């Protein structure tokens, strides 16, 4: 008995010593690689397993001095390869065909002519050049290419109002390394805000947001173009002001509208794609960042661990789904999220058709000659209802980022539609004809 006990103690001591040496880095080379490749027994790979490089940037081959993806490929071959896979994301949904009420809601605006889901980052320049939405000015290139961000850095805000075609001819690369890293990707994978309007809007508050969120949020946000300069700008200065209510109040105080709808005479707002705002106001923001959910950590056969730069849905990647298990346990996350998204889409459709009906009723009242003092309160309700509906509809997660906010926006829009329809019912006889 004593001998068996001694043997067990010796074995336990050897295992403990091995773990201590491994943790302290005493195992090197193939031992470390073997350890990482057989990580399943110890849990999934994490950011702590990535050995970030500290190397100078390669010589830039772009005319404007941005170090592009091809330049970085010799330093980060695995990352360059996965970035290239974003070209495989070429499928688009025609939202105007899927949800025909949008054509009516967006009457008088470019989105009534062309509105499709975004493809992978490999298509940003091609898609903005081919869209049927008019783009006379270069500000439409704001988030489509790192070369535009660099041009604004070099020349200032006057770039936004330059002719679109003139600036497009200068652009060399779709969304790429410089967008999120400037030329500092070799400095421990440093993340950098390259869009000047983000720094201008947030000031020191940029430091209150996880860089892995803000690097994506530079583009995946609600924004507007300043009327005087056409400069892209964010309608808030801190995370607390990123709610749809606060942003709407900002636009109201500014007297801003994206367009005036011809049939209703309403000055309307067009929400963009407020993914960052939606995410940061939800429960996931305290636990995860954008990379945790869309950039799986991978490992090559030689042991190199890196963030894949093929941006994917967590519902289509088993490793990313493991991050969900931290809180959700053995829940079938794919089934749960798909059901949630279907509920949000169904509710969007209900509210969207009600909003379209309100638009038609208001247009009829305008055509019938209703008094402006009666129409204006209805236009105000319609404008606000359109905003809350749009804030949910154009946020590309369909409720997955923040289902509570999606429901709140749709319920608020529905309530405002009901109020507006009641006012329409009470209009004087000429408007009801």
Tell me what pLDDT residue 43 has.
58
Residue among 132, 100, 141 nearest 113 (CA) = 132
pLDDT (0 to 100) of residue 50: 87
Please tell me the predicted confidence (pLDDT) of residue 46: 82
What is the model's pLDDT at position 3?
52
pLDDT on residue 1: 46
pLDDT digits (tens, 9 = 90+) for 31-55: 233 233 334 434 578 888 888 889 9
Specify whether the CB–CB gap between 180 and 215 falls below 8 A: yes
Percent of the chain with pLDDT over 70: 89
Task: Please give the residue that has the higher pLDDT: either 407 or 318.
Answer: 407
Say yes or no to pLDDT of 149 above 80.
Answer: yes
Whole-angstrom Cα distance, residue 405 to residue 266?
A: 26
In angstroms, the CA 95 to CA 103 distance is 9
How confident is the model over 219-229, as a mean pLDDT?
Answer: 96
HSE, CB side, 13 Å, CA atoms: give it for residue 248. 19
CB of 180 closer than 8 Å to CB of 194: yes
What does pLDDT average to over the chain? Answer: 89
3-state SS, 19-76, equals: HHHHHCCCCCCHHHHHHHHCHHHHCCCCHHHCCCCECCCCCCCCCCCCCCHHHHCCCC
Neighbours of 402 (CB within 10 A): 23
Comparing 25-29, 162-166, 269-273, 334-338, which segment has the lowest mean pLDDT? 25-29
| pTM, 2 dp | 0.88
pLDDT of residue 25: 34
Tell me what pLDDT residue 2 has. 54
Q: State yes or no: pLDDT of 59 exceeds 90.
A: yes
Higher pLDDT, 17 or 91: 91
- Contact status, residue 361 vs residue 421, Cβ threshold 8 Å: yes
pLDDT in tens, 377-393: 999 999 999 999 999 99
């Amino acid at each position: 008995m004593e001998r068996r006990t001694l043997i067990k103690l010796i074995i336990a001591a050897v295992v403990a010593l091995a773990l201590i040496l491994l943790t302290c880095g005493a195992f090197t080379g193939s031992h470390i690689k073997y350890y990482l490749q057989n990580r399943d027994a110890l849990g999934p790979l994490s950011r702590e397993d990535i050995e970030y490089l500290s190397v100078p940037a390669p010589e830039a081959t772009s005319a404007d001095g941005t170090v592009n993806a091809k330049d970085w490929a010799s330093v980060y071959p695995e990352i360059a390869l996965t970035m290239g896979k974003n070209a495989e994301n070429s499928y688009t949904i025609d939202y105007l065909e899927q949800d025909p009420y949008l054509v009516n809601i967006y009457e008088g605006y470019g989105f009534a002519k062309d509105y499709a889901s975004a493809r992978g980052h490999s298509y940003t320049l091609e898609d903005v050049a081919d869209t049927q939405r008019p783009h006379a000015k270069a500000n439409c290139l704001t988030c489509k290419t790192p070369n535009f961000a660099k041009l604004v850095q070099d020349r200032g805000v006057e770039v936004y109002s330059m002719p679109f075609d003139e600036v497009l001819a200068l652009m060399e690369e779709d969304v790429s390394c410089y967008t999120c890293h400037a030329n500092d990707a070799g400095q421990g994978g440093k993340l950098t805000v390259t869009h000047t309007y983000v720094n201008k809007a947030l000031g020191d508050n940029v430091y209150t947001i996880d860089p892995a969120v803000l690097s994506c949020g530079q583009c995946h946000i609600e924004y507007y173009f300043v009327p005087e300069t056409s400069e892209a700008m964010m309608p808030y200065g801190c995370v607390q002001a990123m709610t749809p209510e606060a942003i709407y109040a900002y636009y109201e105080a500014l007297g801003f509208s994206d367009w005036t709808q011809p049939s209703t005479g309403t000055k309307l707002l067009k929400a963009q794609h407020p993914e960052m705002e939606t995410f940061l106001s939800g429960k996931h923001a305290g636990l995860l960042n954008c990379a945790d959910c869309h950039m799986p950590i991978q490992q090559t056969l030689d042991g190199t661990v890196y963030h894949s730069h093929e941006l994917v849905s967590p519902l289509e990647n088993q490793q990313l789904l493991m991050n969900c298990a931290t809180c959700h346990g053995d829940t079938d996350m794919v089934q749960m999220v798909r059901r949630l998204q279907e509920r949000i889409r169904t509710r969007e459709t209900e509210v969207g058709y009600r909003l379209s009906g309100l638009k038609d009723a208001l247009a009829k009242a305008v055509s019938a000659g209703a008094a402006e003092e009666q129409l204006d309160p209805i236009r105000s309700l319609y404008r606000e209802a359109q905003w809350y509906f749009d804030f949910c509809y154009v946020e590309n997660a369909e409720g997955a980022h923040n289902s509570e906010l999606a429901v709140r926006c749709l319920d608020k829009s529905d309530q405002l539609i009901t109020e507006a329809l009641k006012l329409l019912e009470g209009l004087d006889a000429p408007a009801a004809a």
